[in-house]
Amino acid sequence: MRLLIVIVNYRTPGLVIDCLASLAADIGTVPGTRVIITDSASGDDSLPRLRGALAEHGWGSWAALMPLETNRGFAAGNDAAIRCALARSEKPQYLLLLNPDTVVYPGALQALVQFMDGHQQAGIAGPRIEFADGTPQTSAFRFPTILSELEGTVRLGLCTRVLRRWVVAPPPRTQPHAADWVSACAVIVRREVFEQIGVLDEDYFMYYEEVDFCLRAAAAGWERWYVPSARVVHLVGQASGVTDRTRRKPRYWFDSRNRFYLKNYGRLYALAANLAFAVGLVAWSVRRRLQRVPDCDPPHMLWDFVRQGLARLPRLKPAAGNQSVSL
C-alpha cells in the first residue's frame, strides 16, 4: 500500500461523500492508494448513507468503512485506522489525514507523495488550504508561545510588528517551506514517524492534537513542510462548527489548549501563557469599546476563558510518562 487516506466522520455523511467524490478522480494518480472512513458512533444515518454511496459509485474498490463503538474525538478516530494500518503486514508508506469538510483538487495526492519521496527528512507535510473561492487559508504555523498568545489576542499593529517572530499564523507563501506545524485538516505523514513517536494523543478530544504531534516529530528530528503545489479546499468549520463565531467555544477547546502547554512545557508556562492570553483579551475588549470596533471573537470569550481555561488549569494533570519538550 502506497498511501492510506483516513477520514473521520461524525454525523457529516454528506461532507464525506463530497470529499470522496473529489478523491475519486485522483486515486489513480498514486497507485496503491486506499481510503478508510472511521465513523465515531454517529448514531444517525451516516453508515447507511456512506455504504450506499460506496456501492452506488463503485468506490468500494478503494474505500472502506470502519465503524467505531464510541465517539472519543478527532485524534482517536484517526488513531483507530492508523493502528490497524501499522499492524498490517503490508504497511502504507504514507498516511494522509483528511477532514470530511475538504475537497481535494486534481493532482494534490500526487504532489504530496512526490514531495515526500524527494525529501526524506520530511516526516509531515501539508498542502495549500483554500477557501471555496480559491483564497488561501493560513495552514502553516509557528508553535504557540507566551508571546504569541499575547500578540494573538491583543490585536494591535504595533504589538504584531514588535512580536512578528512569534506570530503563530504568518501569511501564506507561494513556495514550499519548512514550518513548525501544519493544519491537520489535510496532512500527509510518513509511516516511520508514527512508528517512532506514536499515534496522535487521544487525550485531545479535538484541536491542538496536530500541534502536539508536530512538536513531538520536531523533537525526534523530523521536518515539517508546507507544499502549495498540492491544493485542498477546506469548508471551514462545517464538520465541527467550532470556528463559527456566533457560537461559544466548547470546553474541549479550552481543555486541549491547556493540555498542550501543560504537557509540553509544564504548569508554570501554561499559567503564564493563559495570563498572556487573558491580558490580550482584556486589552482588546477595552480598545474595541473605545474605538467602537465590532467584536470578532465568539460570544462571551473572555468569561469562558476565565471559567474554562484559567479556572480549570489547576485541576488538569499531565498524562503519565509525558515529558516537557525543549527545542
Could you tell me if residue 174 is inside a domain? no
Specify the pLDDT at position 239.
67
Could you tell me if residue 312 is inside a domain? yes
User: Which DSSP category does 25 fall into?
Assistant: T
Specify the pLDDT at position 237.
67
Q: Are residues 132 and 65 in the same domain?
A: yes
Could you tell me if residue 269 is inside a domain? yes
- 4 half-sphere exposure, CB direction, 13 A CA radius: 24
Which of 208, 234, 260 lies at the terminal end of a domain, its last residue? 234
Specify the pLDDT at position 319.
56
Domains identified in the chain, total number: 2
pLDDT digits (tens, 9 = 90+) for 87-96: 999 999 999 9
Residue among 44, 43, 34 nearest 7 (CA): 34
Q: Are residues 8 and 134 in the same domain?
A: yes
For CA atoms 321, 322, 326, 327, the dihedral sign is: positive
Q: Are residues 109 and 133 in the same domain?
A: yes
Specify the pLDDT at position 224.
98
Q: Are residues 248 and 296 in the same domain?
A: yes
Output the pTM of the full model: 0.92
Q: What is the mean pLDDT of the chain?
A: 93
Q: Are residues 40 and 156 in the same domain?
A: no
Torsion of CA 257, 262, 265, 270, to 10 degrees: 70
Taking the C-alpha atoms of residue 239 and residue 186, their distance in angstroms, rounded to an integer, is 13
Could you tell me if residue 327 is inside a domain? no
Q: Are residues 94 and 225 in the same domain?
A: yes
Could you tell me if residue 239 is inside a domain? no
Which of 206, 234, 262 lies at the terminal end of a domain, its last residue? 234
Q: Are residues 45 and 129 in the same domain?
A: yes
Q: Are residues 222 and 120 in the same domain?
A: yes
Specify the pLDDT at position 317.
72
Could you tell me if residue 7 is inside a domain? yes
Q: Are residues 270 and 313 in the same domain?
A: yes
Low-confidence stretches of the chain (pLDDT < 70) are 237-245, 318-327
Could you tell me if residue 325 is inside a domain? no
Q: Are residues 129 and 59 in the same domain?
A: yes
pLDDT digits (tens, 9 = 90+) for 179-195: 999 999 999 999 999 99
Specify the pLDDT at position 326.
37
pLDDT digits (tens, 9 = 90+) for 121-133: 999 999 999 999 9
Q: Are residues 137 and 274 in the same domain?
A: no
Taking the C-alpha atoms of residue 250 and residue 248, their distance in angstroms, rounded to an integer, is 6
Specify the pLDDT at position 74.
96
Q: Are residues 85 and 120 in the same domain?
A: yes
Q: Give the structural domain span for 186.
A: 3-142+179-234
Give the number of other Cβ atoms within 10 Å of residue 88's Cβ. Answer: 10
Specify the pLDDT at position 38.
98
CATH of the domain at 126: 3.90.550.60
Could you tell me if residue 220 is inside a domain? yes
Taking the C-alpha atoms of residue 94 and residue 113, their distance in angstroms, rounded to an integer, is 8
